[in-house]
Amino acid sequence: MRTLFRLLGHLPLSWLHALGAALGWLVWLCSPTYRRHMEENMRLALGEEEARRVRPVAIGEAGKAGLELTHVWVRPLAETVARVVKVSGWELAEAATRRGRGILYLTPHLGCFEITAQYLSTQAPITCLYRPPKRAWLQRLIEDGRARAQLHLAAADLSGVRSLLKALKRGEAVGMLPDQVPKAGDGRWLDFFGQPAYTMTLAARLVDSGAAVIMVWAERLPGGAGYHFHLQEPTQAIQGTIEERAQQINREIEQLIRQCPGQYLWGYNRYKGRRRSESSPLPAGGMAP
């Protein structure tokens, strides 16, 4: 698998996106479970009519998201970030850097979410939260693919959280996927497109650090032409209780998805069944020390 992954990574991005679109349809047709999750998630979030309109695009874009990982992880960093052909909102990062209080970059499963940290690492150090996969070979691929000079990984545990806090205290950037479903006991059931979704609170807790919050995503351009990098301010200040902040972040994610619903990873199941809650390992009054 690793050899195949690396071989695919040497194909042009336009080829990978063409193959990925075909792969997306193949998986959708051959996997009833994946098809059911994707269709249910889209209906819950978008409604029947909008889901029907977006679905053909989303099926192909999901396949592109899978195969473009080979390009992002295998190619040299300079070659990877050169695929970012347009950047909007960079002045937000510059202003936050001048304030020196750190930056919290929130990137949902939208567009090419793997290239965001890679690109940001060429500008300044960034520490990104990740959840180690169950398969050892895949973990090795992830670690090798994300091994960049200024890109540091923090596992999704207390040690990783401390790494994020230390980076913010140094005035550096951290990044995470705020729509990633947390472990039981580490989240809250909050509204997402009008439906209850188990939502992480870590991003909301990190706001306590005083870091600037920037929503960021990389729009996949047609024909393998590259990516349009978007940085956006939250539409309203992230404030209030932990639960209120987490709910506001969900609202911000919704705003991004509405800009390009066909490139959201609808097969990622935000609406998992309700699970038994346990007390969070993080202090109720704030972040772990």
Residue of 31 and 142 predicted with greater confidence: 31
How confident is the model at residue 86, as a pLDDT?
98
Q: 153: domain range?
A: 2-263
Separation between Cα atoms, residue 143 and residue 121, nearest integer Å: 15
How confident is the model at residue 137, as a pLDDT?
66
Residue 101's pLDDT band (cuts 50, 70, 90): confident
Tokens 């005083």, residue located: 210
How confident is the model at residue 192, as a pLDDT?
97
pTM: 0.90
pLDDT above 70 covers a percentage of the chain that reads 93
271 part of a folded domain = no
How confident is the model at residue 288, as a pLDDT?
33
208 part of a folded domain = yes
232 part of a folded domain = yes
118 part of a folded domain = yes
Q: What is the mean pLDDT of residues 144-155?
A: 85
Q: What is the mean pLDDT of residues 126-148?
A: 78
Q: Number of folded domains in the chain?
A: 1
Q: For residue range 275-285, what is the model confidence (pLDDT) as tens digits?
A: 444 333 333 33
The two structure tokens encoding residue 127:
């520490």
Please spell the DSSP secondary structure of 156-201, one letter per residue: SSHHHHHHHHHHHHTT-EEEE-TTSPPPTTSEEEEEETTEEEEEE-
**DSSP code at position 103:** E
Closest CA to 205 of 172, 169, 140, 161: 161
213 part of a folded domain = yes
Separation between Cα atoms, residue 118 and residue 192, nearest integer Å: 28
- What average pLDDT does the structure give for the chain? 90
277 part of a folded domain = no
Please spell the DSSP secondary structure of 203-259, one letter per residue: HHHHGGGTPEEEEEEEEEPGGG--EEEEEE--SS---SSHHHHHHHHHHHHHHHHHH
Q: For residue range 243-277, what is the model confidence (pLDDT) as tens digits?
A: 999 999 999 999 999 999 999 999 988 887 644 44
275 part of a folded domain = no
Q: What is the mean pLDDT of residues 76-92?
A: 96
272 part of a folded domain = no
Q: For residue range 217-252, what is the model confidence (pLDDT) as tens digits?
A: 999 999 999 999 999 999 999 999 999 999 999 999
